[in-house]
Amino acid sequence: MTKTADVVIVGGGVLGSSIAFHLAERGVGVTLVEKDSLAAGPTGRSCGIIRQHYSHPITVRMALESLHFFENFEERVGGSCDFHKTGYLLAAGPDDIARLEANVALQQSLGVNTRVVSLDELRELEPGVSTEGIVGAAYEPDSGYADPYSTTVALANRAEELGAKILTGTRVQSIIVEGGKARGVLTDEGRLEAGSVVLATGPWSPRLAAALGVELPITLCRVQVCLFNRAEELVQDQVFIDSPLGVYTRPEGDDLMLVGSIETDEAQAGVEDPDHFQRVADFDAVSRYSEQLIQRFPLMEKGSFLNGYASLYDVTPDWQPILDALPGVENLYCAAGSSGHGFKLAPRIGEMMAELVIVGKSPEDDIEFFSFDRFARGQRVDGGYAHKILG
């Protein structure tokens, strides 16, 4: 049976749900199609860290606007995103301190509540930390982490209240193209016609686009996160990004610490098929993270490993997403390639994509920054850090 919508969004991760919310808010008839359940992909495995530290004014503004969205989530959306405003520290070594200071000045000029802190102040904020290898840190008291699953579900629920249809357990088999235009999607349940189609399918995007002859410059990399029982004596209050050691940690509940990597060479851990990769953390990651934790938080000698998992980043060459219409097929859009930092930007990305679908873009738009063809034009938008995930 054929059904219709103004816009079909493929993918019910945080980006798809945010786009659905912003389109529905603008009165557009949306159907979101998710093959599994909402947030079943990398969104549901995301660490949910929210920060505003970026190297470019556009990404700083996006992060700041998204922060305000998270802060006002209950009134704006309803439901909860479970935002913990713990504060955020980004520690730098001699190689990145100049970049960090320049970024903090940029952020301050754009209204972000942040400052560079000395090692003494760093120790006051995180008394359990060893400052070996660190020369300074950026501090954001208003940042922290939220729950990506709750955020995604709340956005989709609100979109539904505003008239959107949310179809879970429904796989899109192909995008229907007629006369050079996207006309809808073919799902397991039948044909769904639409004026526009948005691919928000994270690591599954390259395959869906390839079937239309569009080669997305997105690779998939396997990333690992481990949870440790915190040593009883150790207090960890902040989200802590450790550039010298190449890891991030954040508190999880009252007595756990979550650890992941910010090393760019994770991108070498390539995965071909997003449905088949090793989903448990491997021994190497567990032992590496254990050593790094003890190095940075010496009391973690008394901590212990609890469990770990692996998920995927969908990564572009500059680690920034593609937010654009795709070439060769009219009315087909893509919001993918957000690598390891798309959750915190999702509120603003949803808004930018809604505007793109409704009114198109002009070269002055921020969204131009995330164009599909920037790589072919040699206009990558890398941030200034060696750890590209920092942006």
Ligand X SMILES: Cc1cc2nc3c(=O)[nH]c(=O)nc-3n(C[C@H](O)[C@H](O)[C@H](O)COP(=O)(O)OP(=O)(O)OC[C@H]3O[C@@H](n4cnc5c(N)ncnc54)[C@H](O)[C@@H]3O)c2cc1C
Which of 5, 9, 15, 154 binds ligand X (CB under 6 A)? It is 15
CB of 75 to ligand X, least distance (A): 22
What does DSSP say about strands 247-252 and 172-178: parallel, antiparallel, or unpaired?
A: unpaired
- For residue 316 the two structure tokens come to 């572009």
- CB of 279 or CB of 380, closer to ligand X: 279
- CB of 166 or CB of 200, closer to ligand X: 200
Which of 54, 289, 343, 370 binds ligand X (CB under 6 A)? It is 343
CB of 266 to ligand X, least distance (A): 10
Q: Could you tell me which residues come within 8 angstroms of residue 290 by beta carbon, excluding any fewer than 6 positions away?
A: 228, 300, 305
Residues in 159-188 that interact with ligand X by CB under 6 A: 171-172
- CB of 51 or CB of 296, closer to ligand X: 51
- CB of 48 or CB of 136, closer to ligand X: 48
CA–CA separation, 97 and 362 (whole Å): 36
- Would you give the binding string for ligand X spanning residues 298-317, x where CB under 6 A is met? -------------xxx----
Indicate whether 344 belongs to the interface with ligand X (CB under 6 A).
yes
- CB of 45 or CB of 123, closer to ligand X: 45
Residue 227 in contact with residue 258, Cβ under 8 Å? Answer: yes
Indicate whether 31 belongs to the interface with ligand X (CB under 6 A).
no
CB of 69 to ligand X, least distance (A): 13
Q: Residue 236: how many CA atoms within 13 Å on its side-chain side?
A: 32
Which of 184, 251, 303, 342 binds ligand X (CB under 6 A)? It is 342
Q: Which residue reads 């930390």 in tokens?
A: 129
- For residue 328 the two structure tokens come to 């060769």
Which of 5, 28, 46, 267 binds ligand X (CB under 6 A)? It is 46
- CB of 139 or CB of 313, closer to ligand X: 313
Best CA proximity match to 138, nearest among 243, 289, 293, 237: 243
Q: Which stretch binds ligand X (CB under 6 A): 69-77, 251-259, 264-272, 337-345?
A: 337-345
- Would you give the binding string for ligand X spanning residues 49-88, x where CB under 6 A is met? x---------------------------------------
Indicate whether 136 belongs to the interface with ligand X (CB under 6 A).
no
Q: Which stretch binds ligand X (CB under 6 A): 33-41, 69-77, 286-294, 372-380?
A: 33-41
Q: How far is CA 35 from CA 164, 188, 354, in A?
A: 17, 9, 22
Number of residues near ligand X (by CB under 6 A):
41
Tell me the Cα Rg of the chain: 21
Indicate whether 47 belongs to the interface with ligand X (CB under 6 A).
yes
Which of 53, 222, 230, 341 binds ligand X (CB under 6 A)? It is 341
Residues in 201-240 that interact with ligand X by CB under 6 A: 201-204, 223, 225
- DSSP label at residue 230: P
- For residue 226 the two structure tokens come to 């481990």
CB of 341 to ligand X, least distance (A): 4
Q: Which residues of 318-353 are buried (b: 16+ CB within 10 A; e: fewer)?
A: bbbbbbbbbeebebbbbbbbbbbbbbbbbbbbbbbb
Q: Which stretch binds ligand X (CB under 6 A): 39-47, 82-90, 110-118, 374-382?
A: 39-47
Q: Which long-range contacts (CB under 8 A, 24 or more apart) does 159-164 make?
A: 159/17, 159/20, 159/21, 159/23, 159/24, 159/25, 159/30, 159/32, 160/24, 161/78, 162/21, 162/24, 162/25, 163/24, 163/29, 163/30, 164/20, 164/23, 164/24, 164/29, 164/30, 164/31, 164/32
CB of 15 to ligand X, least distance (A): 3
Best CA proximity match to 384, nearest among 65, 92, 61: 92
CA–CA separation, 200 and 16 (whole Å): 5
Binding site for ligand X (CB under 6 A): 10-16, 33-36, 40-43, 45-49, 148, 171-172, 200-204, 223, 225, 260, 311-313, 336, 338, 340-344
